Amino acid sequence: METEASEQTSSELVDSFGRRIRYLRLSITDRCDFRCVYCMSEEMTFLPRQQLLSIEELLMVAQRFVALGVEKIRITGGEPLVRQGLETLMRGLGALKQHGLKELAITTNGSQLPRHAAMLRQAGVDRLNISLDSLDPARFKQLTRTGKLEQVIGGIEAAQAAGFSDIKLNAVVLKGRNEDEVLDLVEFARERKLDISFIEEMPLGEVSDHGRGETYFSSDDVQAAIETRYPLWPTAQSTLGPSRYFRMPGSSTRVGFISPHSHNFCASCNRVRVTAEGRLLLCLGNEHSKDLRAVLRRHPGDEQRLEKSIIDAMQLKPWRHHFTTDGDVQVVRFMNMTGG
């Protein structure tokens, strides 16, 4: 049962622990042209299209969040650049900058950037995160199952040619798979003037490829590997949000660590997620959620009711996640469903 919409709305989103929510991660599809071993199973069943939020519904959700004080939106998936209607959506989101949106970002595997980078820049996308776990073509293929390294490198180059200067690489580090490439990835980022974040694998969904416990490699170990070559100096942003950032001598590249296991960041969490099917998720590592698609479809065009549902849902946001590294799957959703 949905709660009845009241006349009253507030202009900001605050959870029951006093954390102000300013950041929305919006997943626009669960589909992807890759099948990364830590994200998906080899055989995936994707949602029927009518279960996904339509482009109009996605825009309506984004508009309500911006009206409620959200300043940053990151578009993710699945692979966001394979979504039909991408251009209409991105132009609509770009227009929200006239209504309080300060930053529009995308997380992508990069494969479709050669054909979309210029449009995204024009639509008002400020920043890109591009996933890159290996610089070895054979290994890249193993990790992504269907991806081609050269396509992603081409995507990075297309984004830089289109004028994106704020590009960050994301690398998930797995023991026994790519932990020996940490320094090569850092060199690649330095040469191309990109930032890079190293991510600890999270136990979302049961992946067929490996037990999560087997492949756990901590951010502290990644940091130690980098420090064999470069000292890492903490930056002012090093304690904000889930990423801890560092600088190195002789380079503008920042190195980030996203460490849900070894450095819990929940106390400063300012974000929520909306899945491709319109489920508002209050925490990456928990199931607390609100079905916004039901509100949108039962009451088409009722902005106030949607806004009220979003405000009420903030009370469901839990204090923290409880990921462990012992290989247990604690959240049955896959990352492509969650919107990483």
Residue 267 tokens, joined:
């106390």
Q: Which does 259 bind (CB under 5 to 8 A by kind): ligand SF4, ligand SAM, none?
A: none
* Local structure of 27: helix, strand or coil: strand
Name the residue nearer to ligand SF4 (CB basis): 150 or 227.
150
- Of the candidates 275, 279, 204, 329, the one whose C-alpha atom is nearest the C-alpha of residue 30 is 275
336 contributes a contact to ligand SF4 by CB under 6 A: yes
* Least Å from the CB of residue 34 to ligand SF4: 4
Between 232 and 337, CB nearer to ligand SAM: 337
The region of 28-36, 60-68, 223-231, 306-314 touching ligand SF4 under the rule CB under 6 A is 28-36
Pick one of ligand SF4, ligand SAM, none as the site partner of residue 309 (Cβ within 5 to 8 A by kind): none
- The burial class, CB within 10 Å (0-12 / 13-18 / 19+), for 159 is buried
Q: Is 178 in the site for ligand SF4 (CB under 6 A)?
A: no
Taking Cα atoms as reference points, which of 148, 128, 152 lies closest to residue 138?
Answer: 148
Alpha-helix runs per DSSP H in the chain: 55-67, 86-95, 113-123, 137-144, 149-161, 182-192, 212-215, 219-227, 292-298, 303-313, 335-338
- 71 vs 328: CA distance, rounded Å: 35
Would you mind telling me the total number of residues written for the chain in this entry?
340
Q: Is 38 in the site for ligand SAM (CB under 6 A)?
A: yes
Binding-site member from 77, 92, 114, 155 for ligand SF4 (CB under 6 A): 77
Residues 66-95 binding ligand SAM (CB under 6 A) are: 76-77, 79
User: Does residue 203 interact with ligand SF4 by CB under 6 A?
Assistant: no
**Among the listed residues 109, 112, 223, 289, the single contact to ligand SAM using CB under 6 A:** 109
Please report whether residue 207 would count as binding ligand SF4 according to CB under 6 A.
no
What is the three-class DSSP state of 4?
A: coil
Q: Which of 55, 78, 207, 280 binds ligand SF4 (CB under 6 A)?
A: 78
109 lines the binding site for ligand SF4 (CB under 6 A): yes
| Sign of the C-alpha dihedral computed for residues 118, 169, 255 and 161 taken in this order | negative
Q: Which is nearer to ligand SAM, 64 or 217 (CB)?
A: 217
Rule CB under 6 A: choose which of 5, 21, 26, 32 binds ligand SF4: 32
Number of CB atoms found within 10 A of residue 8's CB: 8
Residue 44 CB, shortest distance to ligand SF4, in Å, is 9
CA angle in degrees (0–180, nearest 5) for 292-295-296: 85
Size of the site for ligand SF4 (CB under 6 A): 13
Residue 81, class by beta-carbon neighbours within 10 Å (0-12 exposed, 13-18 middle, 19+ buried)? buried
Taking the least distance from each CB to ligand SAM, the nearer of 79 and 307 is 79
Partner that binds at residue 202, options ligand SF4, ligand SAM, none, CB closer than 5 to 8 Å by kind? ligand SAM
CA atoms within 13 A on the CB side of 193: 7
Q: How far apart are CA 146 and CA 144, in angstroms?
A: 6
204, 276, 292, 296: which one binds ligand SAM (CB under 6 A): 204
Q: How far is the CB of 279 from ligand SAM (least distance, A)?
A: 15
Note whether 129 and 77 are within 8 A (CB).
no
- Assess 131 for contact with ligand SAM (CB under 6 A): yes
Contact 100, 63 (CB under 8 A): no
Q: Is 200 in the site for ligand SF4 (CB under 6 A)?
A: no
Judged by beta carbon, residue 2 or residue 179, the one nearer ligand SF4 is 179
170 binds, among ligand SF4, ligand SAM, none (CB under 5 to 8 A by kind): ligand SAM
Q: Rule CB under 6 A: which residues touch ligand SAM?
A: 32, 38-39, 76-77, 79, 107-109, 131, 170, 172, 199, 201-202, 204, 335-336, 340
